[in-house]
Structure 1
Amino acid sequence: MTLNVPVAGPEELLRFSFVQGDETIECVSSEPRRPAGRTAVLLHGAGTASTERLLPLAADLAAAGARTVALDFAGHGRSSGRLDRQSLEKRHAQAAELIRRFVDPDDELVLVGFSMSGQTVADLLGDLADRVTHLCLCAPAAYAADAWRVPFGDGFTELIRRPGSWRESEAFGAYAAFRGRSVLMVPGHDAVIPEGVTAGLREALRAREDLTEIVLHGASHQIGLALAQRGDTRRMLAALLAS
């Protein structure tokens, strides 16, 4: 199903952190009024992205009944670390550790990934597929497997810019095997993600035929920023993911 949505102070959240290796990873959580047995994990994108732009969505998810946790990946936001020393492998490890330490092992999981974290969500499915009931991918990326361990400041950009390198991503198989409900949110035009990536991920998610696609007309690749400004769309998304 495709929903065409015209483009149009988070509640107080609990901040906490954990140490992984040499880095301090800063996190937030938002609690629903009643325990629901479901936790949404919000994973921001690359570049200058951080959890701050996702706080309104975290609050709306909690209001819809899902406990919500999010982190600033190392080198982003409030977390320590140099961005050029990070990698897809390290992002996966940080997200997995957040879930291991701070999510009830009996909770169902909702994984929400923006941009680069489209790959991270796929990587997490390898460990957690039996617990994940919902996925939400917002302008998601996918990367070749040989880019996974490459530091962002040491050849990563050149590697992922090889024409068609994304076709070698393991994300497509991971999403095709997913057995839960999926939401794909994309801008009307994405100047960052190749159309082939979006089409391939859409096809993979449709393998189970339980996909809702939301198009934000007039929005850019920065879906997190768009959602922060569009309460109606955000609450609709929260309702889909908490149902």
Structure 2
Amino acid sequence: MRPFVYEHGGERLSAVYGDGGGGPGAATAVVLHGAGGSSKGRLLPLLGEFGAHGCHALALDFSGHGGSSGALRESSLRRRFEQAVALIDARVPREGPLVLVGFSMSGQTVADLTAHYGERVAALGLCAPAVYAGEAWDVPFGDGDGRFSAIIRTPGSWRTAPALDALRAYAGRAVLAVPGTDAVIPAEVTEAVQRALTARARYTRLELPDAGHQVAAWLRDHPEDRRSFVRAVLSRLGGGGRPATRARPAEQVPEGRTAADSRPL
């Protein structure tokens, strides 16, 4: 992994990039950390695992985190999305396939990126993901007692989250990693994300029964679970994360169900 600094919107964003050796057609795994004191540092082993499977790998510290400049209270969901887009557009070959992985708050960012990049997104990995009401997207995070906190603490505000619409529309590979104990993300949010992903995606739920909400730290410290997660995300993709030829629909439906119809696109 090679560190570098990328300037965007008056901020200096600390980032890392790794060439997995899969060649120019290989997918790039973009791995995004969560909120609070999170940073890309705990993601490095996961980036290395994607590299071992032939993927390029990219991660950044959002402004106000890790080695990046800026104040966390001035950041927002929109700024996180814009910083990720700027970095992807600068470092990933145009039209190169993307594997998007997000932890906690970055579940929202992954959904935003999925809507933005469309068919370029070959696979998703969502780990204890959060989604938020649309009205929260532009609001600065503040210090925990401002408008953003008021919006996200409103009971049921997440139910109309645009992120759920983006995940329902997604038809690629998707893995939802669910910790056994999550004191941050309500179970009903996790189930709503699962329902959205089962609408069209080739979906797998990966249970981590001994993990808590900090799934990134868990995968850092548990190599076998880390390998299982990456293998699941890249399942049904070719070498280097290249989208493989789709199998017959009948081979993709859950056990005990049948394919009613199919049509070429």
Asked whether 1:91 is paired with 2:83, we answer no
Partners of 2:18 and 2:78 in 1: CA distance: 27
Offset from partner CA, 1:99-134 (integer Å, 9 cap, x none):
110001131110001000111111112210110010
State the number of aligned residues.
231
Identity %: 47
Asked whether 1:27 is paired with 2:15, we answer yes
Equivalent in 177, 184, 203 of residue 169 of structure 2: 177
Greater shift after overlay, 13-22 or 79-88?
Answer: 13-22
Alpha-carbon offset, residue 196 of structure 1: 1.3
Greater shift after overlay, 34-43 or 101-110?
Answer: 34-43
Equivalent in 44, 68, 76 of residue 79 of structure 1: 68
Asked whether 1:207 is paired with 2:207, we answer no
Asked whether 1:143 is paired with 2:127, we answer no
Contact map agreement 2:26 2:54 (CA 8 A) in 1 = no
Equivalent residue number for residue 6 of structure 1? none
Which runs of at least 4 in structure 1 moved beyond 2 Å after TM superposition?
239-243
SS of aligned partner of 2:31: strand
Partners of 1:96 and 1:68 in 2: CA distance: 15
SS of aligned partner of 2:197: helix
Normalised TM-score (structure 2): 0.85
Structure with larger RCO (C-alpha < 8 A, sep 6+): 1
Contact map agreement 2:183 2:212 (CA 8 A) in 1 = yes
Contact map agreement 1:38 1:110 (CA 8 A) in 2 = yes
- Which one-letter code corresponds to 2:210 in the other structure? G
Contact map agreement 1:32 1:66 (CA 8 A) in 2 = yes
Greater shift after overlay, 206-215 or 225-234?
Answer: 206-215
Structure 1's unaligned 5+ residue stretches are: 1-12
Alpha-carbon offset, residue 48 of structure 1: 0.4
Offset from partner CA, 1:116-172 (integer Å, 9 cap, x none):
011111111221011001000000000000000110004211210001111121111
Partners of 2:95 and 2:88 in 1: CA distance: 11
Query: Which has more strand, going by share of residues?
Result: 1
Partners of 1:70 and 1:207 in 2: CA distance: 29
Larger Rg: 2
Contact map agreement 1:37 1:106 (CA 8 A) in 2 = no
Contact map agreement 2:21 2:55 (CA 8 A) in 1 = no
Partners of 2:86 and 2:223 in 1: CA distance: 30
Asked whether 1:18 is paired with 2:6, we answer yes
Structure 2's unaligned 5+ residue stretches are: 238-265
